[in-house]
Amino acid sequence: MATESNGAPAGAPAPQDPKTSSASAPAKTPAAAPAAAANPEKLTPAQLKAKAKAEKAARRAKVIETKAAVAAATPAKEAGKGKGKQDGQPPQSKQHRGSMSGRRPSIGGPLIEKEKDARSGIPECFSHVPMAKRVQLSQAHKDVDPAVLVAGQQMAAFAIKDSISRLEATLLAFKKVIESYETPKGNSLSRHLVPHVLNPQIEYLTECRPMCFAMGNAIRLLKTKINSFDINDPEDETKEELLEWIDTMINERIKLAEYLIARNAAGLIEEGEKVLTYGRHRLVEKTLLKAKEIGKTFDVTIIDDPYERGGQTLAKTLRQAGINVLYSPNLGGLRPKVAGATNVILGGEAIFANGSLNAASGTADVAMAGQNAGAKVTVLCETINFERERVSVDALTYNEIDPERNTAECFRLLYDNTQDKYISGVVTEFESGGGNSPAQAILALLRMREDPQIA
């Protein structure tokens, strides 16, 4: 009978050394695994660990074999697509092909280019300046009212631009929210409406476009009004009072204020005067039309915003009303144009506590040129736009980046800052008889005449 080198019969299994039995465990094939699993009590922890390692290695080897088979099955013409490229540069097809794991394409892919941050070209020193953006409706909070969704989209697209128009759209949208509101059981309107209903609307509007000062003041007043209700007040009466309060805010602080400012400012225009303005502001437009309506004769010079071109529309409106107009498409040659003016009338977006003016970019240049030329510089602004707590000394603290003129090479700020020393007076809805107040006196004016929550 033939024997092996160890002396055992050829057909019999070779005896194993007990010392080496654990070392031979990793060499088991996957077919032998069920047999070992049938007697788990005979395996030590070290053997179980070794078996797990072996199974993991087998799975990894299988994955490698599958990948190799897929690569071998790829047509030879795919390899030729990379020809003509520089050494080390991958073929173009690989830049757009998704990975086998289902992950998103690499950084060079088209999806990433689409989702590229619009602020990537803005320098670090301007990173704090906000910018309007269009928020997808699917990304909005589930509790945002449809009326607020529409208002937010219009603001983000600049279909609603100036602060007062945005304020009116916000208040009208909030009316829809309050009308459809029902207080949940176990809650009161005065404690539930603001944190659970109004705040999601406000957050959405702010995400679409940074909140203007008029909106901030009105929202603060609205919250104060809601919190003033008693928890036991009937819901229907409370909602009706809130809706009346919003209507009063729109009628008095927007519509009536607009009429009074136009009337007061028109009284400041003298017969035969040469008036100069910048761009197109609705208060300035109504003032000039009101002055013409009461029979005054004067000439108007319009220095237009070279980006917005609102001055073109203003020039057409004034000419149709019979007013002589000189139109300039930009700030070029500003000094000689201002030198011939006796009254510079400008519209403002907001006035800070230190009297500085926040207005459309270019307003500061016109105001400084007018003051240096000896002309009166009058600003028209509603008191709802007054900021009583904050001051501003430059245009970088409170501003916005124009999303339509933001590229990798340059960007544009929507507003600038005019110091109070370049402003002769401010006309608000509180003056009578065509008077005006110094820009530094806005806080005193608010304390004397305005709502206590703002003053």
How confident is the model over 404-425, as pLDDT tens digits?
A: 998 888 899 999 999 999 999 9
In the predicted structure, residue 161 carries a pLDDT above the cut 60: yes
pLDDT at position 42: 65
Ranking 95-99, 345-349, 402-406 by mean pLDDT, the lowest is 95-99
From CA 419, how far away is CA 439, in angstroms rounded? 9
Tell me the sheet residues that pair with 377.
344
In the predicted structure, residue 7 carries a pLDDT above the cut 60: no
Ranking 214-218, 304-308, 338-342, 444-448 by mean pLDDT, the lowest is 444-448
The rounded radius of gyration (Å) of the Cα atoms in the chain is 37
- Both tokens of 424, joined, read 């002769």
From CA 93, how far away is CA 82, in angstroms rounded? 8
- What sections of 4-145 are H helices per DSSP? 21-24, 33-38, 45-73, 76-80, 92-96, 110-114
- Both tokens of 339, joined, read 């030198």
Within a 13 Å sphere around the CA of 200, how many CA atoms are in the beta-carbon half?
Answer: 15
Amino acid identity of residue 389, one-letter, is E
From CA 118, how far away is CA 28, in angstroms rounded? 58
- Both tokens of 56, joined, read 């993991």
Confidence of residue 218 (pLDDT cuts 50, 70, 90): very high
Give yes or no for a contact between 244 and 270, defined as CB atoms under 8 angstroms apart: no
pLDDT at position 297: 96
Q: What is the pTM of this model?
A: 0.73
Ranking 42-56, 233-247, 429-443 by mean pLDDT, the lowest is 429-443
